[in-house]
Structure 1
Amino acid sequence: MLLQELLGINEDVYFVEESYLAQRTIERTLDYLKGVRRFAEARKVRLLRVYEGKYTLGLFLFNSADEEVPVDFWSVFTGALAGASSKKDFEAITDSLFTFNVPEKEIEVSSETWRDAVNEYYSLMLVNRNLCPGCAVKSESYGSVFSENRVQRVAEIFDVLQKKGIYPEGRLLEVCCGNGMSTLALYRLGLNPLTVEINKCTVCQGLEQGVLNPRRTVVMDATALSRYFEPGSFDAVMGFMLGLVYEFNKELWINIVREMASVANEGALMLFTVSSKPEAEILAGTLLRSGVKGEIVDNTDSEGTYDQWFFVGRKQK
């Protein structure tokens, strides 16, 4: 695990927050840290610190084995993914803690590396069934789940785009990635997107088959992207086979593509595929109203199933 590699430790590590999404508010983290600070005023505790510049990204607290927990482990606290107010509170508490308990080791890493480490932790917790007690879902074989034809279909879209002089680069986000069927095509093209998907079971399936990258995968509701990522966070935002988009659920998908635009950088590539032209028109209209200039492309084939229509454009000022 990247967290252990970064610190050079062998013991197990556990984040105080139970989910990636809870890292936005860090209520438990702040509550626990206040208790740690009070405890540490009376006796020395073992601490490790991960930082970037003057900011603490992560704090590791050593816990010795006892009757309840028979092995040593490290509790991990972070405010790096939190909102501005919570992040400020985290910094204040850790700074005060360090005044009378100097960390025995401090390492500097980029915030991106730290985010990858956090992503990986929750991905591994998911695929090891630690986030879904009593899970009864059985593993399926790679061949029964993943289709090379589907992967190739996505790859062909990028062949079309390259002929137009369009190719994604920089910080990439894939929305509604499912089990990673489309992501496979992106990997084979040398791209390394951050992938988000709300369905834990499909994410688990992709992780289990070694398709999704645990360091670049997050279980997240795509209608809440702007709550977790700042404006301009990505240079390309993509989604493959969004929908099905009907009159009764179109507001959901309109919200998703609106959120896609909200976290995209100026000039960012915006790309999504659907199965029908009416779906493409509904979602494209939202992007156009969100400051994205682009076009709907007819990508129909004889099978008439996947990625039959797509919208491609770029976010304007």
Structure 2
Amino acid sequence: SKVVMVSERRFLEGLVEWLAVSLKDELFCESCPVATPPLFVPERIDALEKFLRPLLHPRGEVLEICCGSGMATQALKELGFRPWTADLDSCEICNALKSGYLDPERAMVLDARLMDRFFPPHHFDMVVGFMVGLIDEVNWEARMVAEALTSAGWDAEVVANPDDLGIYDQWACIGRPNKRRKVNRVSDRN
């Protein structure tokens, strides 16, 4: 037998890639209910890139939560990031992988609330999430994500991005580790 030594980071990327490729190849489902690839909207990607450029650090490890079909991920890639992406909807992730919009080494079907079970504290320099719709009482998700990040020791904000169409990316939730506060570590909870 052969023993190969790899870093924990590389091992995790390999495991995530194996699961993502298995998902893309439909090993986890009987048939794919989605017949067409996600709609590619260059104008959306360009607008989101312009919105995000002044808000995001030029470097660092980024986690995009609720990545869906991977359209907003394209703006992050245009800005030079290679984000980890996560969504609960396996069909969205599968379709985005089949279309080449997500990186299989970094695409996960995972509830963002469980990230601390897979990644060590301080692994990410930023957590971002984008949504469809306006900021109002209906979009409680943005506030919930910001509150969850804040309670975990992050500085989080919901930033408005209104446009004339009022359809895509009307807001972004951006979180960064709070350097002044002690971040709860997995080992501290036991």
Cα RMSD over matched residues? 2.9
Alpha-carbon displacement from aligned partner over 1:242-296 (angstroms, at most 9, x marks no partner): 777775883x65554444x2xxxxxxxxxxxxxxxxxxxxxxxxx4x66555665
Contact 1:176–1:198 (CA under 8 A) maintained in structure 2: yes
How many matched pairs? 179
**Aligned pair in 2 of structure 1 residues 227, 255: CA closer, same or farther (>3 Å)?**
farther
**Aligned pair in 2 of structure 1 residues 242, 173: CA closer, same or farther (>3 Å)?**
farther
For 1:299, the aligned partner's letter is: N
Shift of 1:172: 1.4
Alpha-carbon displacement from aligned partner over 1:149-172 (angstroms, at most 9, x marks no partner): 2211221112333xxxx5242221
**Aligned pair in 2 of structure 1 residues 154, 249: CA closer, same or farther (>3 Å)?**
closer
Matches within 5 A, 1:209-224: 209-224=99-114
**Aligned pair in 2 of structure 1 residues 242, 224: CA closer, same or farther (>3 Å)?**
farther
Aligned to 1:235: 125
Does residue 1:299 correspond to 2:161, yes or no? yes
Alpha-carbon displacement from aligned partner over 1:15-57 (angstroms, at most 9, x marks no partner): xxxxxxxxxxxxxxxxxxxxxxxxxxxxxxxxxxxxxxxxxxx
Structure 2 unaligned spans of 5+: 182-190
**Aligned pair in 2 of structure 1 residues 291, 178: CA closer, same or farther (>3 Å)?**
same
Q: Distance in 2 between matches of 1:305 and 1:248?
A: 14
For 1:305, the aligned partner's letter is: I
Alpha-carbon displacement from aligned partner over 1:64-121 (angstroms, at most 9, x marks no partner): xxxxxxxxxxxxxxxxxxxxxxxxxxxxxxxxxxxxxxxx322222111111110111
Contact 1:153–1:307 (CA under 8 A) maintained in structure 2: no
Aligned to 2:184: none
- Between the two proteins, what is the percent identity of the paired residues? 34
Contact 1:119–1:216 (CA under 8 A) maintained in structure 2: yes
Give the one of 69, 81, 105 matched to 1:179: 69
Shift of 1:209: 0.5
Aligned to 2:185: none
Q: Distance in 2 between matches of 1:110 and 1:248?
A: 43
Does residue 1:226 correspond to 2:120, yes or no? no
**Aligned pair in 2 of structure 1 residues 196, 141: CA closer, same or farther (>3 Å)?**
closer
Does residue 1:140 correspond to 2:36, yes or no? yes
Q: Distance in 2 between matches of 1:207 and 1:247?
A: 32
Flag the structure with larger Rg: 1
Q: Distance in 2 between matches of 1:295 and 1:256?
A: 9
Contact 2:83–2:106 (CA under 8 A) maintained in structure 1: yes
Shift of 1:314: 3.9
Aligned to 1:125: 22
Q: Distance in 2 between matches of 1:255 and 1:298?
A: 16
Structure having greater relative contact order (Cα 8 Å, sep ≥ 6)? 2
Partner of 1:240, secondary structure, is strand
Shift of 1:181: 0.6
After TM superposition, where is structure 1 displaced by more than 6 Å over at least 4 residues in a row? 242-246
Which TM-score applies when normalising by structure 2? Answer: 0.78
Q: Distance in 2 between matches of 1:120 and 1:157?
A: 30
Contact 1:223–1:256 (CA under 8 A) maintained in structure 2: no
**Aligned pair in 2 of structure 1 residues 313, 121: CA closer, same or farther (>3 Å)?**
closer
Structure 1 unaligned spans of 5+: 1-103, 262-286
Q: Distance in 2 between matches of 1:255 and 1:217?
A: 23
Aligned to 2:188: none
Contact 2:97–2:104 (CA under 8 A) maintained in structure 1: yes
